[in-house]
Amino acid sequence: MKWNWTILAGALALGASSALFAQSDSDIDYPESFDTPIPLFTVALGDFSYPISSKMPEVQAYFDQGFQMMYSFTTEDAARSFREAQLLDPECAICYWGEAWAWGSYLNGPMSPDKSPRAFAAINKALARIDLASAKEADLIRAMSTRYVADFSAERRLDQERAYSDAMAVLAAKYPDDLDIVTLYGDSLFLLEPRRGTRDLDDPNVIRLHSVLTSVLERDIRHPGACHLYVHATESTPNPGLAEGCAEYLGTAIPGASHINHMPSHTWNEIGRWSDSIRANIMAWHSDQKAAIGEGFAIYPMHNLAMLLFAASMDGQGALAIQAGKDYEKLMDSSIYHALTLVRFGRFDEVAAVSKRPENSDFDGGSWDFAQGYAALKMGDTFTAREYLDKLEQLAQDTTDNYRFHDGKNLLSVLAGILRGEMAWSTGDMASAVTAFESATDAYNNIVYDEPEPFPFSAKHWLGAAYIEVGEYAKAITVYEEDLREHPHNGWSLFGIKQALAAQGKTDPDIDARLEQAWARSDVWLLSSKF
């Protein structure tokens, strides 16, 4: 599509002129933090800079900080940084543009009724000062003005985002060498797409999004904004390794931004670079903690811990996974991951000590029930195990909860199927055990894409072990190979294949070598793909 910039700019200007009658700041509900001055986090920042027309170095520094915070999804602190720049230079039009950007939709959160008035007020202040801006800054302000209206409507939000994306397409064509403008255009396209679910590389919208982001990365593979978005744009495609190149640099691009530290792990998990995922999330967790002394930006610490324990579980690092589960419990007052990682690594005598059942959701509570029942069974208390299984199965049937965006019934059915299968196995009823694990695996296969997955294990690790037990070695190998496609280089499934081959008097040097490499950092000795 060809665009007439002159016509569009005129239309934007006309639209903007009618928007100047915004409500005053006194009528707008700002977060409490907004009245607290935010310092410059010089230790935590990278070398990114987006030069603006203000002649005051500190204004430039705060603007750059806000920009980097937006690239790291630290949106509220970004708004505070842009506000500090405004206070230092009240005539800095682009500084108000930055605040408007910060209150808008981003990949992990759509525009909301409380933020819309803040964004609308900020862009109106930018428009009121547009004659003081550079030509490029004025273009950015006009483009952003298409995004916000006086009367917010969730139903019309996507229409506003489309208008903004159309305006950014014009700017990206006008300023093709401004990599940040091109990145912002890519961001605007992403906001038109569903955040969750798998992506088809042949989808025209995906092709367009990828081409915009790769056009930046081909010129600057270290670009923090473009790479952050590209990791998200590729992780749920059939080829998540497309982002591997830029992910090598992304984690240190904004050194103290925990979300940026963490982001390469979305790629590492998908391609089975588990140790690198661990390293990325430890770095992120450290930034979360350093935030207390002003050397980091704490954002999504619970997500960093969940990704850490998932990667450590797949890497066979039990002590690390369990500690991350403990840290998650302290942070979120939920023992779900502490209990599940103990089950993952066969620490059954420790499960009972995780005595506080989480009550914040059916999924959290049901996961705790599963862990307690599984551990009781392995410790020889069949009666208690049965009680927990009955409770879990009833909860799986009755719950109306969702966990994040997952169907709670389906998730709890995975756990109920695993525990039911173990109960049957303990009595020697292998036919029922296999049936239960097959049911658990069917439910597991219905889990929609997520990072990390809800469980620090795969149901296929139980089904494969059951197939080996009943002599269905080919089926076992097929199940493990499926799991390796989903979780490359995980030692649980590689060991399962080795075990299935050994039961037939066979060996495979390639499997042996892959297992040795995958389990090089493990602190657990395996006798099966499950405990």
Residue 347 falls inside a structural domain: no
Q: Select from 454, 456, 530, 438 the least CA-distant residue to 493.
A: 530
pLDDT the model gives residue 7: 33
- How far apart are alpha carbons 266 and 259 in whole angstroms? 11
Q: Is residue 343 part of a domain?
A: no
- Single out the residue in 243, 274, 305 at which a domain terminates: 243
Query: What pLDDT score was predicted for residue 24?
Result: 61
One-letter-per-residue 3-state SS of 416-458:
HHHHHHHHHHHCCCHHHHHHHHHHHHHHHHCCCCCCCCCCCCC
Q: Is there a single domain that holds both residue 161 and residue 89?
A: yes
User: pTM of the full predicted structure?
Assistant: 0.93
| Separation CA 369–CA 202 (nearest Å) | 43
Q: Which domain holds residue 505?
A: 458-531
Q: For residue range 162-193, list pLDDT tens digits in order.
A: 999 999 999 999 999 999 999 999 999 999 98
Selection from 74, 128, 447, 412 nearest residue 258 by Cα: 74
State whether 79 and 194 are in the same domain: yes
Residue 190 lies in a domain: yes
pLDDT digits (tens, 9 = 90+) for 384-412: 999 999 999 999 999 999 998 899 999 99
**Helix (H/G/I), strand (E/B), else coil: 129:** coil
Q: Is residue 508 part of a domain?
A: yes
The type of residue at 408 is G
Final residue belonging to a domain, choices 394, 410, 444: 444
Decide if 349 is inside a domain: no
Q: What letter would DSSP give residue 257? A: B
Which token pair is 471?
């002599």
Q: What are phi and psi of 198, to 5 degrees?
A: -80, 155
Q: In the prediction, which pLDDT does 35 show?
A: 86
**Same domain assignment for residues 406 and 521:** no
User: Kindly report the CA angle at 251 between 313 and 287, in degrees rounded to 5?
Assistant: 80
pLDDT at residue 17 in the model:
36
Residues 44 and 180 in one domain: yes
265 and 314 both lie in a single domain: yes
CATH, residue 54: 1.25.40
Do 59 and 169 fall into the same domain?
A: yes
Give the residue among 185, 193, 195, 83 at the shortest CA–CA distance from 144.
185
- 284 and 328 share one domain: yes
pLDDT tens string 67-93: 999 999 999 999 999 999 999 999 999
Q: Tell whether 238 and 269 lie within a shared domain.
A: no
Domain termination residue (choose one: 388, 413, 444): 444
Task: Indicate if 154 and 111 belong to the same structural domain.
Answer: yes
**What does the DSSP 8-state code read for residue 242?**
G
Taking the C-alpha atoms of residue 308 and residue 324, their distance in angstroms, rounded to an integer, is 7
Residues of the chain with pLDDT under 50: 1-22
Overall domain count for the chain? 4
**Shared-domain flag, residues 369 and 488:** no
In a domain, residue 348? The reply is no
Whether residue 346 lies inside any domain: the answer is no
Strand partners, 106: 109
**Is residue 248 situated within a structural domain?**
no
Say if residue 111 is in the same domain as residue 195: yes
How far lies 354's CA from each of 30, 238, 302, 338, 483, in Å? Answer: 40, 38, 19, 8, 29
Give me 6's structure tokens. Answer: 């002159």
What is the per-residue pLDDT for 18? 34
Same domain, 181 and 101: yes
pLDDT score, position 209: 97
Most distant CA pair in the chain, distance: 81
Burial 45-80 (b: 16+ CB within 10 A, else e): bbebebebbbeeeebbbbbbbbbbbbbbbbbbbbbb
No. of helices (H) and no. of strands (E), the chain: 26, 2
Rounding to the nearest 10 degrees, give the CA dihedral for residues 63, 68, 73, 79: -10
Say if CB 127 and CB 152 are below 8 A apart: no
